[in-house]
Copies of this chain bind each other. A is one copy, B any other.
Amino acid sequence: MRFLIKFSYDGTNFAGYQRQPGLRTIQGCLEEAVLKINNQIPVVITATGRTDKGVHALEQYAHLDLNVAITPYKLKRALNSNLPDDIYVMDAKEVADDYHIRQHVVQKTYQYRLNMATYNPLRRHYVYQHNYDLDVKKMQEAIVYFVGTHDFRAFVTENYLKENCIRTIQEAYITYDSYYPGELIFTFTGNGFMRYQVRNMVGLLLKVGNHKIEPLVVKEILDSKVRGKHGCRAPSCGLCLVKVELDENIK
């Protein structure tokens, strides 16, 4: 039986999503929880993608196969009782045996949060604390260059350079948070994001906000397809996968 699960996690105390020997990872914890349900038969969990160390997810999906018969509701309950309190399974449903999660992702939305107001210890794991004012208007001008279908190889690590780096970003914009004064949110919605892509895009936008570069330089770097000397990655704690839109068939 193949199941689709919807889950969320606080990335603070994980070495990222992907299973790694000897490290506490989200995949590792999920697979360990499933092991107990699946009569100790190991199960590989396939998510829509990975997130890095310290990155959070308010909505993530994965598929997995079980050798035991269980209802989706009982699977959800059993997973949550075997999972630590920084991962939570919100939903589970049965899917076709040939269902593969990666074929059903329509778009993903990431948000990057940055605080320009007084440091708040209660928010320290969820925002990047930036103690200097940023030119939000200039960054808003620059972020628009990311919208559309582009070869994003200037915003990935070397490992990706032999791969297809063409992705489409439907929306990219900056807003002030309505609740936490001084928190700025960079929102990116696209059909897919490569490793470090969002943090590298935000890192470059911060250079615009700090008046190190003009907004147009963002377009130039994107067009050049070369990371170059302005390459800069924003810290992981501000990043959160907030939404994954799947196609209608399984919703």
A58 to B121, CA, bound (A): 8
Let me know if A108 is at the binding interface, CB within 8 A.
no
From B10, B90, B121, contact of A9 by CB (8 A): B121
A172 to B126, CA, bound (A): 30
From B56, B85, B87, B122, contact of A126 by CB (8 A): B122
Interface size on A, residues (CB 8 A): 20
Q: Are B122 and A85 in contact (CB under 8 A)?
A: no
Let me know if A88 is at the binding interface, CB within 8 A.
yes
Q: A8 to chain B: which residues have CB within 8 Å?
A: 120-122
CB distance from A176 to the nearest CB of B (A): 13
From B10, B118, B124, B179, contact of A10 by CB (8 A): B124
Given contacts A10-B122, A88-B121, 13 further A-B contacts (CB under 8 A): A56-B122, A58-B122, A85-B121, A85-B124, A86-B121, A86-B124, A87-B121, A88-B118, A88-B119, A90-B118, A122-B126, A122-B240, A179-B179
Q: Which residues on A are within 8 Å of B, measured CB to CB? A: 8-10, 56, 58, 85-88, 90, 118-122, 124, 126, 178-179, 240
